Amino acid sequence: MTTALKNDLFLRACRGVRTERPPIWIMRQAGRYMPEYQAIRKNTTFLGLCKTPDLAARATLLPIDILGVDAAILFSDILVPVEAMGLDLMFSEHKGPSFPNPVRTRADVDGLEVPDPVSKTGFVAEAIREVNRRLASRVPLIGFAGAPFTLATYMVEGEITKDFSRVKRMMFSEPETLHALLEKATDTVIRYLSMQAEAGVHAYQIFDTWAGSLSSFHYRSFALPYVRKIVQAMRGYGLPSILYVNGSCALLEDMKEAGADVVSVDWRLSLSVARKRLSESTGIQGNLDPVSLLGTPSVLKDEVGRILKEMEGRPGFIFNLGHGILPETPVSMARYLVRLVQDGLSAPQPVE
Ligand code: CP3
């Protein structure tokens, strides 16, 4: 089904094939930095947008039409299936996501369900089908889910915190409770990603954003085995997979053991080092600092040039940011970034 794609650079790079240039997409490519997104978002809540297939599809298509990136990523959120597990979810403008009744005890964990994805989150499958209709095979569509440890972090902390002390306290005092939670999250994610695969995504990314807060030892116990289980369970669909961790520097070799086709690297680690640490059988995605899009076009050009040079001749490279694009990013800079990667460093600069 992927053979009919007009632009399959991204899928070829995921599979480790040498491509004529690196494909590029941008984490959080449909977001608040785009006036067209704000216009769609104005009349609804963020969750309302995620749950309305027509609106989610419109948001998903924006960066394809406006930036010309080489892959679409479904517009949704990693916390959508967590709400379906039975936790009330709120998004506020300034604080981001929160759970007013967080998971703190074994009884809380036992009270969560492993939801049927179609009856509880069928709007996601519907959005995927709608996106593919509108994409008309222009570029592949990436599905995604949060990794169990990152989902557990939100469920236990109840809000975004700096030091993750509640979930880590559970890890150090009641590890079996945390493992029980991680197991439920794993089963939920496998069923949720299977639904996405059946609805027609061409690849999937697992966001283990907060696993970078763990030592290698604890990563190997509380994060890696669950991600590996997901990757193995999904193997039958034959879709390329990407694993993202923010702050992956200390964990790169451990992450590789999850078995995903591509490991996503943030800006803290030079890609010339990353490519030495990962054999060519693993693809690399990354790793521009999102803040560089707030600087000048000429410095952005230098940064892109540096990254392209670091990865010269390395098959299986996907250009991306090291984390999500910031809401204050000028669209002209995002578009310039895409042009630099697609057309080369002599692409015309936006006016400084
Ligand atoms: O990449 C894409 O364009 C697809 C859409 C997408 C969103 N969230 C949209 C979103 C994806 C892949 C995510 C994943 C996600 N969500 C992660 C993992 C990636 C990462 O950034 O680390 C995490 C940790 C979340 C949880 C989450 N959702 C947070 C922390 C926030 C608040 C911060 C923020 O940027 O507002 C959200 C809200 C959110 N998710 C928005 C968008 C476009 C902003 C919502 C709005 O319109 O107000």
The whole-model pTM stands at 0.97
Is 154 designated active site? yes
If you measure from the C-alpha of residue 36 to the centroid of ligand 1, how many angstroms do you get, rounded to a whole number? Answer: 17
Domains annotated on the chain, with CATH: 2-343 (3.20.20.210)
Cβ atoms within 10 Å, residue 299: 10
Q: Is the pLDDT of residue 1 over 90?
A: no
290, 261 Cβ separation under 8 angstroms: no
Amino acid at 144: F
Arithmetic mean of pLDDT, 115-133 = 98
Question: Residue 51, SS3?
Answer: coil
258-291 pLDDT tens trace: 999 999 999 999 999 999 999 999 999 999 999 9
Instruction: For ligand 1, pick from 67, 76, 77 the residue to mutate: most ligand atoms within 8 Å of CB.
Output: 77
Tell me which of 51, 66, 69, 78 to substitute to probe ligand 1's pocket, judged by most ligand atoms within 8 Å of the beta carbon.
Answer: 78
Checking DSSP bridges between strand 90-92 and strand 96-98, what pairing results, if any? antiparallel
* pLDDT tens column, 164-176: 999 999 999 999 9
Annotated active-site residue 228? The verdict is no
Report residue 51 CA to chain centroid gap: 19
Question: Residue whose CA is closest, atom 21 of ligand 1?
Answer: 324
Digit-coded pLDDT (tens) for 294-308 = 999 999 999 999 999
- Radius of gyration, CA atoms only, the chain: 19
Pocket-forming residues, ligand 1, beta carbon under 6 Å: 27-32, 41, 46, 73, 75-79, 91, 96-97, 144, 160, 207, 209, 246, 324
- Structure confidence at residue 352 (pLDDT): 61
Point out the ligand 1 atom lying closest to the alpha carbon of residue 41.
47
Strand boundaries in 60-178, DSSP class E: 72-73, 90-92, 96-98, 141-146
Instruction: Give, to the nearest 10 degrees, the angle between helix 224-234 and helix 175-199.
Output: 30
204 strand-pairing partners: 143, 241
Percent of the chain with pLDDT over 70: 99
* Ligand 1: residue whose CA is nearest its atom 45: 46
pLDDT at 232 over 50: yes
How far does Cα 294 stand from its chain's mean position? Answer: 22
Nearest residue (CA) to ligand 1, atom 31: 96
pLDDT > 50? residue 2 = no
Angle 159-160-163 from CA coordinates, rounded to 5°: 120
